[in-house]
Amino acid sequence: MDDRWSSNNAGIMACPYSLSADGIELQFATNYLGHFLLTNLLLSKMKNTAEQTGTEGRIVCVTSALHSQTYKGGILLQGINEKSGYSQYKAYGQSKLAVILSANELAKRLSKENANVTINCVHPGVIATNIVRHSKILALATKLISPFLKSIPQGAATQCFVALHPSVNKVTGKYIADCKVSSPHSIANNPELAERLWEFSLSLTSSEITSKASAEQNESSANNV
Ligand SMILES: NC(=O)c1ccc[n+]([C@@H]2O[C@H](COP(=O)([O-])OP(=O)(O)OC[C@H]3O[C@@H](n4cnc5c(N)ncnc54)[C@H](OP(=O)(O)O)[C@@H]3O)[C@@H](O)[C@H]2O)c1
């Protein structure tokens, strides 16, 4: 990433139940919450750069068509770390649904502020990568159908397109697949759930965001002395 664009790509899939070092269910933490925190930590820098240079800032979030394969209700806001009932596949779907809901919420907030920064979600397609390593069934299925899957450059194409192509200027809050605006599952179009997820995510990450904001404040005060 640079100050003009940021890509939230890192991910894991279908892992057995475990918690991150910060004590959050691992797929939610890796595929969603870490990106949520990074985006919030970079946001003021991106907005300032966009204002100073007149060049649109772009945040690209890699989600998956599997966002529809989640738990009942979408996101387990009341029990994100529940071990009983954990499904390695639904936890992946939940994390990718969270990516879309949160991107939609941030797109709304950025538009209200008239910030020259956009945020969109990308489904890259189905690509033969090592992401399936935690599931024997998926690893075997991927091996069998790999000649029909996207290559890695093909899989990266939509993400690069959304980050860089001039035709995507001012496009925000969209779900994009095969370089075209598409529609996510209806569960991803729930603004109340998106707002509740946003507040929940802030509550889990607020200490990191607050300490970055106060470091910025101190730096700017020192520069003004
Ligand atoms: N492959 C598909 O068919 C497919 C379909 C839909 C969506 N996606 C999404 O596409 C994205 C890329 O996946 P991929 O298929 O390219 O899988 P991949 O080959 O396994 O790559 C995943 C990348 O994420 C990094 N990563 C994982 N956990 C991390 C952490 N805690 N901190 C920093 N980096 C971390 C990995 O780094 P290390 O190698 O160092 O672990 C790796 O570079 C993911 O978000 C995935 O959900 C993939």
Report pLDDT for 131. Answer: 97
Report pLDDT for 109. Answer: 98
| C-alpha–C-alpha distance, residues 87 and 21, integer Å | 20
- List, for residues 89-144, the tens digit of each pLDDT value: 999 999 999 999 999 999 999 999 999 999 999 999 999 999 999 999 999 999 99
Which residue minimizes the CA distance to atom 46 of ligand 1?
Answer: 11
Any ligand 1 atom below 6 A from CB of 131: yes
| C-alpha–C-alpha distance, residues 172 and 22, integer Å | 31
CA geometry: angle at 70 spanning 127 and 75, to 5°? 125
**From the candidates 17, 32, 71, 86, which is the catalytic residue?**
86
Residue-averaged pLDDT of the chain: 94
Question: Residue 219: which pLDDT band, with cuts at 50, 70 and 90?
Answer: confident
pTM score, whole prediction: 0.94
Any ligand 1 atom below 6 A from CB of 57: no
> Percent of the chain beyond pLDDT 70?
95
Residue 1: pLDDT over 80: no
Which residue minimizes the CA distance to atom 34 of ligand 1?
Answer: 10
Which residue minimizes the CA distance to atom 45 of ligand 1?
Answer: 11
Residue 170: pLDDT over 70: yes
Any ligand 1 atom below 6 A from CB of 62: yes
All domains of the chain, ordered by start, with CATH? 5-186+202-224 (3.40.50.720)
Rounded to an integer, the average pLDDT of 24-44 is 97
Report pLDDT for 6. Answer: 85
Which residue minimizes the CA distance to atom 47 of ligand 1?
Answer: 11
Rounded to an integer, the average pLDDT of 28-53 is 97
17 as an active site residue: the answer is no
Please give the backbone phi and psi of residue 219, each rounded to the nearest 5 degrees, phi first. -65, -45
Q: Hey, what are 168's tokens?
A: 């995507």
Report pLDDT for 142. Answer: 95
How close is the Cα of 119 to the center of ligand 1, in Å? 19
Atom from ligand 1 closest to the CA of residue 13: 47
Residue 20 zone, left/alpha/beta (φ > 0; ψ -120 to 50; rest): beta
> Percent of the chain beyond pLDDT 90?
88
